[in-house]
A and B are shown apart, each in its own frame.
Chain A
Amino acid sequence: EAQVTQNPRYLITVTGKKLTVTCSQNMNHEYMSWYRQDPGLGLRQIYYSMNVEVTDKGDVPEGYKVSRKEKRNFPLILESPSPNQTSLYFCASRQEGRRTEAFFGQGTRLTVV
Chain B
Amino acid sequence: GENVEQHPSTLSVQEGDSAVIKCTYSDSASNYFPWYKQELGKRPQLIIDIRSNVGEKKDQRIAVTLNKTAKHFSLHITETQPEDSAVYFCAGGSYIPTFGRGTSLIVHP
Contact = CB atoms under 8 A, between A and B. Distances in A.
Interface in B34-71: 34, 36, 43-46, 49, 51
Interface residues of A, number: 24
A50 B95 contact: yes
A102 B34 contact: yes
Contact of A31 (B46, B51, B96, B101): B96
Interface string A71-90: 00000000000000000001
Contacts of B46: 101-102
A43 B51 contact: no
A58 B96 CA distance: 9
Interface string A94-113: 10001111101111000000
A100 B31 CA distance: 11
A76 to B, nearest CB: 15
B95 A35 contact: no
Interface on chain A toward B: helix, strand, loop, or mixed SS? strand
A106 B99 contact: no
Contacts of A33: 96
Contacts of A35: 99
Contacts of B51: 99
Given A45-B96, A98-B94, A99-B51, 13 more contacts: A33-B96, A40-B9, A42-B89, A43-B99, A50-B95, A50-B96, A58-B96, A90-B44, A94-B97, A102-B34, A102-B36, A102-B91, A105-B43
Please give me the 8 A-B residue pairs with the lowest Cβ-Cβ distance, nearest first: A42-B101, A99-B32, A104-B43, A43-B99, A42-B102, A48-B96, A101-B46, A98-B94
